[in-house]
Amino acid sequence: MQRSPQMLTDDARRIWWAGVEAVQPRRLIPEQLSIAGQMLCLGPNVIDLREIERIVVVGAGKAGASMTVALEQTLGEQLLEEKHVTGWVNVPADCMQTTQRVKLHAARPEGINEPTKEGVVGTLKILEIVSSLGPTDLCICLLSGGGSALMPAPIQGISLNVKAELTREISARGGTIHQLNSVRRELSRIKGGGLARACRAGTLATLILSDVLGDDLETIASGPTVAREPTPELAVRALEELGLDDAPAGRQAIVRLGRPQPEDSDELYPDRTVWNLLIGNNATAVDAAGLEAERLGYSHAMISANQPEGPAEKVARHLVETAQSMRRHSEPDCLISGGEPTVQLAPPEIRGLGGRNGQLALAALAAEDDWSGLTLLSGGTDGEDGPTDAAGAVVDHQVVSSAQEQGLDSADYLRRNDSYHFFDQTGGLLKTGPTHTNVCDLRVITLENNAD
């Protein structure tokens, strides 16, 4: 099929959006939660509603608002009334929606993916709510990506400022999500099973939208409802590996982690039932994007990473090499991939503005000379790319031509992590606003095959 350059770019956007739409909570939650008479079905689990006095909803995440709305709609007005449904969910300020019973709390400002005082207030409220429940209550917890920053509750001896500084430094030094969460879990009252330990409800059921490659439940939102043994040694190792043992905040954390503290015990509430249900992930989005590519007439290949991908520049080179190989053969003519690369930040004095998707797109542009009949789109499924108002970026022949006409040095922008300003000038920014979901990143390559 002959496709114009504009069609390749438009199709890449359609394919990407199909993936994002597939992981919307309004689609996912009804697949896992349903009412059959007096029975509430949560995945493979069944609860007799006649034995439940109250249903309380708590949680946090970038998809928290849309998950809450979907949950309320699925439960229905009658059940919301009969079971006195209430609750509290921490969400970003730009993700607020109208709910019926559950309060949404703006736990951080737009574009600031760090713990805040507002987040601490909301988290302490969540802990207060779950600790007030009883054996005839059902607690439903809604977790999605971004939940870690939205549920800060530092342990005694560690300030919020120290946690925020460590979060910034771990990211700036190219730390993985596993390294970041190994530190955040040990310095928190709610992460690493803390919410489960505090909850006194007879049943705690958590619906989880994964933004972690491999779907490790201990890592998603730092695993507040996953029982686990404390691992302060892993947190110390992560700080040392990233060179933070020489930084004031890192040293303070290491000293604090070296002082064992009595942990709340699950044995306090031996009759409690805890379920953790995964409702969607990056593979869900990749699969749906593949179906849309097929609908549009593409022969596609798909891959969803199940572990950290490494530097954005390395991932970009691999994608470009794959596109070059695709050009030499009759098919496929569309590549869909999911994952989450890392970015090593430039020194603050030269650092620009951008995120990992923009960095990947800019690195791909630098790695390929011929963008005729080729489009690459890389975007965060949450609509955010680092501290910007873009989800990511698109590279196509028009963007490359614009950069050449303006004499922009892509290598310089790449070196300074300034992908946002590069693509802002060339028309390549992917702006979506909050998508109300979050399952890592989704990349789409479409091409006009030149094979004989």
pLDDT in tens for each of the 452 residues of the chain?
789 999 999 999 999 999 999 999 999 999 999 999 999 999 999 999 999 999 999 999 999 999 999 999 999 999 999 999 999 999 999 999 999 999 999 999 987 888 999 999 999 999 999 999 999 999 999 999 999 999 999 998 899 999 889 988 998 888 887 888 889 889 999 999 999 999 999 999 999 999 999 999 998 999 999 988 888 999 999 999 999 999 999 999 999 998 765 544 444 456 689 999 999 999 999 999 999 999 999 999 999 999 889 999 999 999 999 999 999 987 899 999 999 999 999 999 999 999 999 999 999 999 999 999 999 999 999 999 999 999 999 999 999 999 999 999 999 999 999 999 999 999 999 999 999 999 999 999 999 976 54
Sheet containing strand 103-108, strands side by side? 103-108, 86-92, 54-60, 137-143, 203-209, 273-280
Q: Across-strand partners of 375?
A: 446
Question: What is the per-residue pLDDT for 450?
Answer: 60
CA distance 43 to 123: 27
Find the Cα–Cα–Cα–Cα dihedral 344, 350, 354, 360, rounded to 10°. -50
Whether this prediction's pTM lies above 0.85 is answered by yes
Encoded tokens for 421: 């300003």
Find the Cα–Cα–Cα–Cα dihedral 219, 221, 226, 228, rounded to 10°. 50
Q: What is the residue type of 241?
A: E
The CATH number assigned to the domain with range 25-280 reads 3.40.50.10180
For residue 128, CA distances in Å to 56, 60, 132, 134, 318 come to 12, 15, 6, 13, 48
CATH 3.40.1480.10 in the chain is located at 5-18+283-447
Q: Are strands 137-143 and 103-108 parallel, antiparallel or unpaired?
A: unpaired
Question: What is the per-residue pLDDT for 173?
Answer: 87
Question: What is the per-residue pLDDT for 201?
Answer: 97
Q: Residues 58-95, buried b or exposed e (16+ Cβ, 10 A)?
A: bbbbbbbbbbbbbbbebbeeebbeebebebbbbbbebb
CA distance 325 to 314: 17
Q: H-type helices in 83-231, by residue range?
A: 117-131, 147-150, 160-172, 177-186, 194-198
The pair phi, psi for residue 271, each rounded to 5°, is -90, 0
Question: What is the per-residue pLDDT for 63?
Answer: 97
Question: What is the per-residue pLDDT for 264?
Answer: 42
The residue count of the chain comes to: 452
Question: What is the per-residue pLDDT for 261?
Answer: 59
Q: What is the residue type of 356?
A: R
Comparing CA positions, the residue from 109, 100, 153 lying closest to residue 130 is 153
The CATH number assigned to the domain with range 5-18+283-447 reads 3.40.1480.10
Question: What is the per-residue pLDDT for 269?
Answer: 54
Question: What is the per-residue pLDDT for 174?
Answer: 84
The pair phi, psi for residue 274, each rounded to 5°, is -125, 125
Question: What is the per-residue pLDDT for 110?
Answer: 87
CA distance 142 to 97: 15
CA distance 330 to 1: 11
Whether the CB-CB separation of 131 and 84 falls below 8 Å is answered with: no
CA distance 354 to 428: 13
CATH 3.40.50.10180 in the chain is located at 25-280
Question: What is the per-residue pLDDT for 379?
Answer: 98
Helix or strand holding residue 215 (H, E): none
